[in-house]
Amino acid sequence: MSPPAFDPFGELVPTAEPAVAPDRGPNWLKSAGIGLFWGLVGIIVLARAMYFEPGAFSFANAMAWAQGLFALL
């Protein structure tokens, strides 16, 4: 039990039970929103990288990377 609380005029403030926050939505909706947010962040970052470095994401570079990956396997 908490100690009694008093208002600025010395009156006893009645204690109330702490309110329980209502459930705001299903967990899958929260997870979908978080996934959508980070997916958009990734798309924006890739789009900016392609805009500022147009040659870095060419098909030839992608094929060379894939061939190097297959060579390692």
pLDDT digits (tens, 9 = 90+) for 56-69: 667 788 888 889 98
pLDDT of residue 18: 67
- This prediction has a pTM of 0.45
pLDDT of residue 67: 92
Q: How far is CA 73 from CA 15, 35, 69, in A?
A: 68, 31, 7
**Gap between the Cα atoms of 28 and 25, Å rounded:** 9
Q: Is the pLDDT of residue 23 over 80?
A: no
pLDDT of residue 27: 87
Q: Is the pLDDT of residue 24 over 90?
A: no
